[in-house]
Amino acid sequence: MRPPRLFLFDVDGTLVRLEGAGRRAVEAAFGAVFSIPSPQEVFAPIRFDGNTDRAILQEAATRAAVPLERLDAERSRFEAEYVRTLAGIVQRLGRQCVLPGVETLLAKLTEAGDSVGLLTGNSEVGARAKLAPFDLNRFFPTGAFGSDHEDRVVLAALARERLEAHGGRQFTPEQVHVIGDSIMDVRAGRAHGFRTIAVLTGWTDRESLAAESPDLLLTTLQEFPLLP
């Protein structure tokens, strides 16, 4: 019998591609909660892919002269406004937002008895809101999120710990697979000796991902092999 495996998935550009819905919802919620008249200008230079929500909001607050104490105090209000706005945008986009091979792969891993979790820069409420319209949350009992920490390396270790606690079994680094579309996903996994699988369905070009030397580089998750 082969040992158990753990697969940790990024969200944007890996499971779904929402064509900027997350950015638009963040901008709208930030502007509404903090009375910023042109939030798009605040967020324009901030890179979202590979980043974490916590780091994005901290940078935006600094640029907009919003004290970090106020940002923390208004976090629940911001998240409620963000999720409300995001849900409205995502529902209009349709199921084509789910990337090729995602549902089939998740079903196969689950049926094989492997553990599956999230490792994403999204806040937990944001990640769940992005996956809910497509009924993908059922595959992910827990994980690590951008609301937990601003550093993906820290999140990778936390995701492993949470899935181990959830399933009551331990995973060696070689049994953990980090799957994502950005160089930060690859670096976060490699920092712990995890296997890394990069997919070209996000916003990072092939050359940049290949330069990080992931264990596998796939065009889409339809190419996902049967791992030993």
Per-residue pLDDT tens digits for 82-109: 999 998 888 788 778 999 999 999 999 9
The reply to whether 228 falls in a domain is no
Please tell me what DSSP assigns to residue 72.
Answer: H
Cα(8)–Cα(29) distance, rounded to whole angstroms? 28
Domain boundary among 65, 93, 121: 93
Domain boundary among 67, 93, 119: 93
Judge if 89 and 100 occupy the same domain. Answer: no
Please give the average pLDDT of every successive group of 10 residues along the chain, which has 228 residues: 90 94 95 96 93 93 96 95 90 84 95 96 93 95 95 97 97 97 97 98 96 97 80
SS3 assignment, position 164:
helix
Domain that holds residue 187: 6-17+96-223
The reply to whether 61 falls in a domain is yes
The reply to whether 1 falls in a domain is no
The reply to whether 86 falls in a domain is yes
Judge if 124 and 213 occupy the same domain. Answer: yes
Judge if 130 and 188 occupy the same domain. Answer: yes
Domain count, the chain: 2
Cα(196)–Cα(187) distance, rounded to whole angstroms? 8
pTM assigned to the model:
0.93
Cα(20)–Cα(203) distance, rounded to whole angstroms? 11
